């Protein structure tokens, strides 16, 4: 088996002497820093994750999650046009929400920053609502959606 060019160069530098050359030799012999070693570590990481997934999915008293084979079978039987339609609908909702938030938030921020009266009137409300994490608003959104659906029916 032939040595890599980095190892050969490091060994030649070590033969000529010098403390820093020893450090280069030690670094050049770390297999996990070579390109093949990096690829091997990345592949083993993915394989280890899949093995752990199978073990957890097969545990009798664990949270029931699908096995990798079940997920792969579902992915193969996926209706791609429906998937793209659902992706577009999600993108539309997120984009629309962002545009509404920007349309309200940017002028409100400019107004609060420009006017002393607006700052004293609006800033306390904004400061009360600001620390609430965005994910905490999801149940409120679900409730309001179901309420408006019941009103329409």
Domain chopping of the chain, boundaries: 1-33, 43-78, 80-152
The single residue listed with the structure tokens 């899949």 is 50
| Angstrom distance (rounded) from CA 109 to CA 25 | 59
Is the pLDDT higher at 31 or at 14?
31
Is the pLDDT higher at 145 or at 88?
88
Res 28: pLDDT: 58
| Angstrom distance (rounded) from CA 42 to CA 40 | 5
Structure tokens at 23: 């450090």
> With pLDDT > 70 as the criterion, what percentage of the chain qualifies?
73
pLDDT per residue as tens digits for the range 25-34:
566 567 767 7
């Amino acid at each position: 088996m032939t040595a890599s060019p980095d190892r050969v160069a490091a060994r030649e530098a070590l033969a000529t002497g010098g403390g820093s050359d020893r450090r280069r030799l030690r670094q050049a012999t770390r297999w996990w820093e070579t390109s093949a070693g990096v690829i091997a570590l990345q592949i083993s990481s993915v394989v280890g994750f899949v093995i752990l997934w199978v073990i957890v999915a097969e545990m009798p008293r664990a949270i029931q999650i699908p096995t990798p084979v079940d997920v792969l079978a579902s992915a193969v039987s996926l209706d791609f046009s429906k998937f793209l339609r659902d992706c577009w609908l999600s993108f539309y909702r997120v984009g629309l929400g962002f545009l509404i938030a920007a349309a309200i938030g940017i002028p409100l921020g400019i107004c609060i920053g420009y006017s002393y009266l607006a700052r004293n009137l609006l800033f306390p409300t904004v400061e009360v609502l600001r620390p609430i994490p965005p994910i905490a608003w999801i149940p409120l959104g679900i409730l309001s959606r179901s309420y408006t659906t019941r009103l329409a029916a």
